Structure 1
Amino acid sequence: MAKEVIMPKFGFTQEDSQILAWLKNEGDPVEKGDPIAEVSTDKVSMEIEAPEDGILSGILYPVGAVVPVTQVVAYILQPGENLPAAASAPVGKPAPAAVVQKEEKLSGASPVAARMAKEAGVDLSGVEGSGPGGRILKQDVEFLLSHPQASAGKVNATPAARSLAAQAKLELNQVSGSGPEGRIQAADVRRASQAGPAATAPAVPAAARRTIPFTGMRRAIGLNLQASYQQIPHITLQVDVDMSASEALRVQANQMLPAGSKDKVSLTAVIARAVVWSLARNPILNSRLEEEEIVLLPDVNLGIAVALDEGLLVPVIQQAQGKGTLQLAAELREVTERARGGKLRQTDLQDGTFTISNLGMFGIDRFAAIINPPQTAILAVGQVRKQFVPDEHGQPVLHSVMTATLSADHRVIDGADAARFLADLRQALEKPEVMTL
């Protein structure tokens, strides 16, 4: 029987995704788990995997199509098997005109390939990829990394700038770039095209106005948080925590790891363990408001905010309530690496129930975060700093102190509920032994 390949749902409020590329062609043999298509919501690009071994058949949507979640997009057939009689593409939302034009040419790189290239400092402009229509895929970047001479000798320009220059019959080596390290942007080519020969002289002034399009992930994040702050009455409470014992626990945990282990326990992992313990004692913070009901959720699916160049993602550690500090540390490292490498799985972004946002690594002492709907609370933590604290005799003693700020949905959570959670969290971090009692 033909196996349906459906458009997955990556988030609680997601309604559709756009097909960025088919990584396999009609009639190609596939194995279970093979990536067969790359799709994108406004916030993240991910791959659809083959649900079983077989032959990819009946591709229903072209590149650029916007498809509702759970809609069938293709089938996996066994040898000799035929497509269902009803296999036809329902009418979906068309892609924006700019996207359709881009995807018809299939220029540029997949998000995964683009991120890999950026991290490695590889220029992909002018590279012909191995994907459909010349799209640059992950394996193409891997080839360039192992054959650096393949990308040498090219003018430093974006693909969009190259396309515009070709249309305007401009030589790129005569255009001054305003991007990083003199990279030629599309705006530079437009400016040169409008100004004529004079544009090939001096570089663009440093004070020239530059803009960043409010689209894609940046727009999705902005609109989501705007709606959260407008619709959810935030209440914020703050505590200072003595982190001396937690830092000692982290050092001890790392000493227990095998030599050469990559799963080093970070302070975020220690905080995550304390948060999970505190949520078990204060389940109202691990809840969701659904119309006329407050739903207390059985699992703690802990979101950890990860900052990327494109914006903020919140990958999720599923069922964190049954995991100790070492396991949380390992899963935190894995999911963070997947987020930064553009390799997130569908489950990595689903069903978060509570989020931790840590800006301590940026030198921030304290801040208040905005709740990530449909969750009802988020914890913001700053850096661990040295601070004199009076002892029982009033004498100043130097301690390691961290400020934790809880933002909670006041429709669901009272101030006393939030205060009790923070009190338990402070106890767990200052006396980690209570979590094992």
Structure 2
Amino acid sequence: MARLAIRMPKMSMTMTEGEVSEWMVNVGDEIAEGDVVCEVMTDKVDMEVESTVAGTLVEIVVESGMVDVGEPIGWVEGEDTGGGFGDLLSSPSVVEPPSVVEPPSVVEPPSVVEPVETTPEPPSVVEPVETTPEPPKPTGPVAAIPRARGLANEHGIDLATVTGTGPEGLVRVPDVEALVEPAAPEPRPEPRHAAEEPVPTAVAKAAPKPAPQAAPKAPPSDARKAAIRAAVARKMTPSATIPQFTVWRELELDAANTQRRGVSWTTVLVRAYAASLREVPDLLCRWENDQATESGPPAVALAVATDRGLLVPTLTEPDLGDAQELDAEIRAMVKAAHTGKLDKAYMAIANGSVSNLGGLGVDRFQALLTPPQASVLSLGTIRQRPVAVPGGVGLALTVHAGLTVDHRVADGAHAAELLDRMSRRLGAGI
């Protein structure tokens, strides 16, 4: 039996340490690969840690407290199948060198064999067989929207069997919903004779058992609040060294309001910001290694204020796909952020951020950059405001938007162009 480590996982690109808060298993328990063994708090979210090894838990190294990424938090005795990643940081096993075979002291000369003349037979002709090469099987987890992944787990659907209709085969919510078996219809009651009196449904059926009430949520501890503030300090202190500026624009929303069909304003504005970033590629760069480097398609972090502190889950390419689907995803993501149960897919590195204080009555504010992102969009309260119209003054639904930009990456003209593209997009009702 091998001694295998359960290590502190790296749950995001910026994570360097995590805090073990609670173990779900005890020493002596049998665990399998994928079993949830403990809960870890990071500077962004609380996450359940799954075991990457199988066997018997023989030691819990850290009951609670801070642990560096990659350090052991528990030990398991079991067979090392090589299927997990729990011992990738351990030292390689020692391999004995092969034994050396001494050559014989006397080498006999080879005997001489007279050549024999033979008539070579013509080679047989083999007809070529056309074969279609099998496409390589994908490895690793299936790319899926977190809500689609959760829906698949809820209904016991293997994501590998789902055909994704999103970009590069991304599995979306409708792809999973298409495989969810509809609930069987309730049987219709047989017709009664006229002489029979109907029995009230409430009497005919057994009274349902009252659902157990959830225990009241405990307020975050002072230690947890202190850890959150320390994490914010570590992340935002470097922002003070960045040469940054903010440009402002009042965006009119009347046209977008007629077409949003119940979609939240947060979703509408996040989509418009991401689409505009795609059209101003200079603002998609990040300042890294003393130069502006390309960072790929839009990945927008959305600031969410919770009783645990400020969390910033990331949405990848939110300008693509259906707005209604994105709105449902954002609502579910915000709800998960408040409970500290965000999917790991939302912990990617962003190249832009959105901070919205409009719901708290703030008209405008300046948001600070989060390195290495090049821009952050601040949004205030959406309300009817006086605007200039031909021949006088009228009212329009508007929002004050402030775009803060890293001056090392882009200039004021880039910021003005992005806000102008947002204004045009919203003015067209998109």
TM bucket, shorter chain: 0.5 to 0.7
TM alignment of 1:15-94, pairs within 5 A: 15-30=16-31, 33-51=34-52, 54-55=54-55, 57=57, 59=59, 61-74=61-74
Paired residue for 1:232, among 237, 242, 246? 242
TM superposition shift of 1:278: 0.3
Q: Rg: which structure is higher?
A: 2
TM superposition shift of 1:80: 9.7
TM superposition shift of 1:299: 2.7
Residues 304 and 81 (structure 1), Cα distance of their counterparts in 2 relative to 1, 3 Å cut: closer
Q: Which has the higher helix share?
A: 1
* DSSP-derived class of the 2:260 partner: helix
TM superposition shift of 1:224: 2.5
Amino acid at match of 1:429: L
The residue number in structure 2 matching 1:8 is: 9
Paired residue for 2:231, among 203, 215, 220? 220
TM superposition shift of 1:68: 2.2
On the 8 A contact 2:31/2:57 being kept in 1, the answer is no
Residues 217 and 31 (structure 1), Cα distance of their counterparts in 2 relative to 1, 3 Å cut: same
1:419 to 2:416 alignment: yes
Amino acid at match of 1:250: R
Residues 243 and 57 (structure 1), Cα distance of their counterparts in 2 relative to 1, 3 Å cut: same
1:146 to 2:143 alignment: no
On the 8 A contact 1:335/1:344 being kept in 2, the answer is yes
- What RMSD over aligned residues (CA atoms) do the two structures have, in Å? 3.6
TM superposition shift of 1:44: 3.3
1:278 to 2:289 alignment: no
CA distance, structure 1, for counterparts of residue 89 and residue 15 of structure 2: 20
CA distance, structure 2, for counterparts of residue 390 and residue 88 of structure 1: 64
The residue number in structure 2 matching 1:334 is: 332
* DSSP-derived class of the 2:258 partner: helix
CA distance, structure 1, for counterparts of residue 24 and residue 282 of structure 2: 44
Paired residue for 1:314, among 305, 312, 315? 312
TM-score, normalised to structure 1, is: 0.62
* DSSP-derived class of the 2:238 partner: helix
On the 8 A contact 1:386/1:398 being kept in 2, the answer is yes
Residues 428 and 6 (structure 1), Cα distance of their counterparts in 2 relative to 1, 3 Å cut: farther
Residues 325 and 291 (structure 1), Cα distance of their counterparts in 2 relative to 1, 3 Å cut: same
CA distance, structure 2, for counterparts of residue 432 and residue 218 of structure 1: 40
On the 8 A contact 1:58/1:87 being kept in 2, the answer is no
Paired residue for 1:358, among 350, 356, 362? 356
Residue by residue, what CA displacement relative to the aligned partner does 1:10-63 show, whole Å, maximum 9, x if unpaired? Answer: 3443211122222122343445544211112344332212347x4353556222
Q: Which runs of 5+ in 1 are unaligned?
A: 91-144, 152-156, 161-210, 255-264
The residue number in structure 1 matching 2:252 is: 242
On the 8 A contact 2:272/2:426 being kept in 1, the answer is yes
CA distance, structure 2, for counterparts of residue 24 and residue 381 of structure 1: 44
On the 8 A contact 1:60/1:88 being kept in 2, the answer is no
Residues 356 and 56 (structure 1), Cα distance of their counterparts in 2 relative to 1, 3 Å cut: farther
TM alignment of 1:148-297, pairs within 5 A: 215-228=226-239, 230-251=240-261, 254=262, 265-297=263-295
Residues 341 and 158 (structure 1), Cα distance of their counterparts in 2 relative to 1, 3 Å cut: closer
Moved more, 215-224 or 72-81: 72-81
TM superposition shift of 1:355: 0.8
* DSSP-derived class of the 1:312 partner: strand
Residues 71 and 243 (structure 1), Cα distance of their counterparts in 2 relative to 1, 3 Å cut: same
On the 8 A contact 1:43/1:216 being kept in 2, the answer is no
TM superposition shift of 1:231: 1.2
TM superposition shift of 1:297: 1.5
On the 8 A contact 1:5/1:76 being kept in 2, the answer is yes
Residues 20 and 398 (structure 1), Cα distance of their counterparts in 2 relative to 1, 3 Å cut: same
1:399 to 2:396 alignment: yes
TM superposition shift of 1:219: 2.5
Amino acid at match of 2:334: T
On the 8 A contact 2:359/2:381 being kept in 1, the answer is yes
CA distance, structure 1, for counterparts of residue 227 and residue 305 of structure 2: 16
CA distance, structure 2, for counterparts of residue 59 and residue 294 of structure 1: 47
On the 8 A contact 2:61/2:75 being kept in 1, the answer is no
Moved more, 351-360 or 27-36: 27-36
The residue number in structure 1 matching 2:112 is: none
CA distance, structure 1, for counterparts of residue 37 and residue 251 of structure 2: 48
Amino acid at match of 1:269: T
CA distance, structure 2, for counterparts of residue 284 and residue 75 of structure 1: 48
Residue by residue, what CA displacement relative to the aligned partner does 1:246-276 show, whole Å, maximum 9, x if unpaired? Answer: 222223xx3xxxxxxxxxx211001111111
TM superposition shift of 1:431: 1.3
On the 8 A contact 1:43/1:221 being kept in 2, the answer is no
The residue number in structure 2 matching 1:431 is: 428
CA distance, structure 1, for counterparts of residue 220 and residue 358 of structure 2: 37
CA distance, structure 2, for counterparts of residue 402 and residue 56 of structure 1: 58
CA distance, structure 1, for counterparts of residue 224 and residue 270 of structure 2: 35
On the 8 A contact 1:316/1:350 being kept in 2, the answer is yes
CA distance, structure 2, for counterparts of residue 56 and residue 213 of structure 1: 31
TM superposition shift of 1:302: 1.5
